[in-house]
Amino acid sequence: MQKIESTPLAMLAQKCPRCHTGPLFNHSVWNLSKLTDMPEACPVCGQRYEPEPGFYWGAMYISFGFSTGIMLVVGFLVYHLLHDPDVWVYILSVAVVTVLFAPLSLRYSRTIMLYLFGGANYDPNYTASATRTTRPL
């Protein structure tokens, strides 16, 4: 596994907020039956991915922001590219694009929630051996 030094790039790659190496999700985003499966902790540094029960309920607000942004962008593009079509074209376009982007929206909202409110900061010197000998998972 390759360590990513930049925090925004680590968020984009959905890596652990502490070591920027371990994956946040167990499966591909296209495996919809296991879309939300996350390991309990980072396999590299031991960082817990759910700091408290119900932690990811707050990610719904972030996901709502993503969905709103997607709807605004699609509506703007439909208006300008299709020269203000009928209302059903707007509704259909926005609904289809929002549903297609829903898995990514869910994953990235969880990632942002963990990075912003999970309490872990990037530490380039954090090693797996140090955490496993001094801290329980």
Tell me the per-residue pLDDT of 48-81, one tens digit each, with 9 for 90 and over.
998 888 899 999 999 999 999 999 999 999 999 9
The larger pLDDT score, comparing residue 62 to residue 32, is at 62
Torsion over CA of 42, 47, 53 and 55, rounded to 10 degrees? -90
- Tens digits of residue pLDDT in 86-120: 999 999 999 999 999 999 999 999 999 999 998 88
pTM of the entire structure?
Answer: 0.82
pLDDT of residue 32: 84
Q: Which two tokens stand for residue 65?
A: 């922001």
pLDDT of residue 128: 53
Instruction: Decide: residue 16, CB within 10 A, 0-12 exposed, 13-18 middle, 19+ buried.
Output: buried
Nearest-angstrom CA–CA distance, 18 and 115: 9
